[in-house]
A and B are shown apart, each in its own frame.
Chain A
């Protein structure tokens, strides 16, 4: 078992206490910070007035008027842990009700969306605890049901009171049927007050819809504001707001609530009798390898686009490859035969939605701009600081594209090599440990 499982248990550290009491002890200063505020055995927060204050950057001791907040910038050895300690731990020993959140866990980690949902779950729990018409429902716990291998280390800070981690082999890959079976068991055993799913393309919508259909619950979807009474959902592809009674099962939009950021939670793992493996009708053959250049332009996340300012086409293609970007082009680049027609971005080409659009040697004619209206970040390399693309771009570098691209390739290559090196290093380390 790892340390974190015991981290919530309050233990005394007699030696530390001794040093802390003895201001003459050589280690006093280090411990004092740690124990400037301590949780007493009863869970009460205690202050040590002597430990208040810190050594400033130029070695002078100063009074801490920021109540310990300044510690972070002084960069002490243990500043990191001292911040964490500052978040009060929210404990639910015997939950009277449960709110279940099924996070997406993209890449094994909580997404920002997941954290919003956990925040929402706590809002619900608090208002239920405050009680309907003065009648409290008792203390509630927010439980996260996490499928597959988890790499998340801060369930506690995200607001997970109870954690059901189902990471058996049967939960590998795309296995919604197995997941629903597990969720059904949760339903049967815990009868959660609410089921909350992120309404997302990463699986939340799918799983939520499946469970809703299975349980016969009519879910709220694309809900963006809710309390225990009413929920507001987007309807008609986002063009209407439907106000309705809050159902038991909801799929929530991003930013439906603020994530938890003022408390720490137990993230207590729950023992769970294994769920019977279902015979799935869907078989996951795995993700299909997609070459960045084969991604449809309209869906690409990162586009490197070439215009009339490109002269060295080989270098351009090499850059796209090095960056792992999908190639795009202005009409002139297409008309001149340097790029195929399906790469054209703009009014008479494709309207793209890239998060990052790197335009090289493109002047930004209105017909081109129409195509990149939905891009998040536009970066440009151009010799003309006055052109429209520079006006639109979030970051512009004024200079010869060939040179900048050259340098960019170098940077990326070094970065990739380092990453490779680190990976190998990790592997080595793992081997050695074994």
Chain B
């Protein structure tokens, strides 16, 4: 991380956090991406003047114990805009961020619980009139009010972008893993409550939410136009019936078989 003298002094960062949900147990936890947003925020703040320049902000219930697992990353406090369960979080957040304007807002890409739409950074950006950079892996440098960020593309690829402060970025899973949450600091951190007027999310209250059904895997329906195609489809080895083993074949044949598979899978570039 490189910061130039001007920006480093007063770089104010807000990391937005939500309550995560463990994929197998469904228990509340620190969300993977939000944890990374805090991690990146901490790294930025530590490269600058210090941790106090990072505000970790949540809109929701301050009693939620999963919030403490963010604090366990070494935060003195977590700021919570106290909301009822069904309340819409975006407007109170916007209100807060208009009052306490930071230079960088970091969020996760999608929340692990609730609607999980990933719209929060976009809505905030729209309301604040700031640029939004989705799925960043890192902030490489900040010089003269311009940040160079690395955006995560699929399969380990990266794109470099520059953006002028202030901006909002959502943090991808490719970003640095959040540091371990330690019980001691988590237990001692302060939950700074703030009251805010908020409206109920009426649209959502009309939705029904159920545990996810298994999506049927699309069958490879071969709309065979010819008898031969149909024949081929009917006699093809069903998938998942164990692999092919090339035993007493020549080395050339074996290599060719591997090569063909690599080519077919499109991993040879």
Which A residues form the contact surface with B (CB < 8 A)? 66, 69-70, 72-73, 83, 86, 174, 177, 201-202, 205-206, 209-210, 212-214, 218-219, 221-222, 224, 233-245, 255, 258, 261-262, 281-288, 290, 295-296, 299-302, 323-326, 355-356, 358, 376-379, 381, 385, 390-399, 403-404, 406-408, 410-412, 415
Which A residues touch B151, using CB under 8 A?
Answer: 174
Nearest residue, chain A, Cβ from B225: A69
Nearest residue, chain B, Cβ from A300: B156
Could you list some 9 contacts between A and B, CB below 8 A?
A83-B225, A205-B118, A209-B118, A238-B116, A241-B212, A242-B115, A390-B245, A396-B244, A396-B246
A-B interface pairs (CB < 8 A), number = 236
Q: When chains A and B are docked, how far (Å) is the Cα of A283 from the Cα of B167?
A: 13
**Additional 11 contacts, C-beta under 8 A, given A212-B122, A235-B115:** A86-B225, A213-B123, A218-B203, A238-B212, A239-B26, A282-B162, A285-B160, A296-B174, A358-B262, A394-B243, A394-B261
| Interface pair A407/B246, CB less than 8 Å apart | no
| Interface pair A398/B246, CB less than 8 Å apart | yes
Q: Mark B180-214, 1 if CB is under 8 A from A, else 0.
A: 00000000000000000000000100111111110
> With A222-B116, A240-B211 in contact, do A290 and B158 touch (Cβ < 8 Å)?
yes
| Interface pair B244/A394, CB less than 8 Å apart | yes
Q: When chains A and B are docked, how far (Å) is the Cα of A98 from the Cα of B115?
A: 28
| Interface pair B209/A241, CB less than 8 Å apart | yes
Q: When chains A and B are docked, how far (Å) is the Cα of A245 from the Cα of B208?
A: 10
Contact of A201 among B123, B153, B158, B252 (CB under 8 A): B153
Which A residues touch B208, using CB under 8 A?
Answer: 242-244
Nearest residue, chain B, Cβ from A322: B268
Contact of B21 among A83, A236, A381, A385 (CB under 8 A): A236
Nearest residue, chain A, Cβ from B253: A397
Answer yes or no: B50 CB below 8 A from chain A CBs.
no
| Interface pair A397/B134, CB less than 8 Å apart | no
Q: When chains A and B are docked, how far (Å) is the Cα of A296 from the Cα of B131?
A: 28
Give the secondary structure class of A's interface.
mixed
Among the interface residues B110, B158, B262, which one has the most CB atoms of the partner chain A within 10 A?
Answer: B262
> With A201-B154, A213-B125, A241-B212 in contact, do A236 and B116 touch (Cβ < 8 Å)?
yes
Which B residues form the contact surface with A (CB < 8 A)? 21, 23, 26, 110-119, 122-123, 125-126, 131-135, 148, 150-151, 153-164, 167, 174, 203, 206-213, 215, 218, 223, 225-229, 242-249, 251-252, 254-259, 261-263, 265, 267-269
Q: When chains A and B are docked, how far (Å) is the Cα of A219 from the Cα of B212?
A: 19
Contact of B207 among A244, A262, A390, A397 (CB under 8 A): A244
Q: When chains A and B are docked, how far (Å) is the Cα of A137 from the Cα of B125?
A: 36
Q: When chains A and B are docked, how far (Å) is the Cα of A83 from the Cα of B224?
A: 12
| Interface pair A356/B244, CB less than 8 Å apart | no
Contact of B259 among A201, A210, A408 (CB under 8 A): A408
Which B residues touch A222, using CB under 8 A?
Answer: 116
Nearest residue, chain B, Cβ from A284: B161
Which B residues touch A412, using CB under 8 A?
Answer: 259, 268
B214 to nearest A CB, angstroms?
10
| Interface pair A301/B156, CB less than 8 Å apart | yes
Which A residues touch B206, using CB under 8 A?
Answer: 244-245
| Interface pair B122/A377, CB less than 8 Å apart | no
Which B residues touch A394, using CB under 8 A?
Answer: 243-244, 261
> With A243-B210, A244-B206, A398-B245 in contact, do A237 and B116 touch (Cβ < 8 Å)?
yes
> With A285-B148, A290-B158, A295-B155 in contact, do A399 and B254 touch (Cβ < 8 Å)?
yes
Among the interface residues A219, A302, A390, which one has the most CB atoms of the partner chain B within 10 A?
Answer: A302
B74 to nearest A CB, angstroms?
24
| Interface pair B163/A206, CB less than 8 Å apart | no
| Interface pair B265/A377, CB less than 8 Å apart | yes
B84 to nearest A CB, angstroms?
19
| Interface pair A281/B116, CB less than 8 Å apart | no
> With A282-B131, A394-B244 in contact, do A379 and B256 touch (Cβ < 8 Å)?
no
| Interface pair B265/A255, CB less than 8 Å apart | no
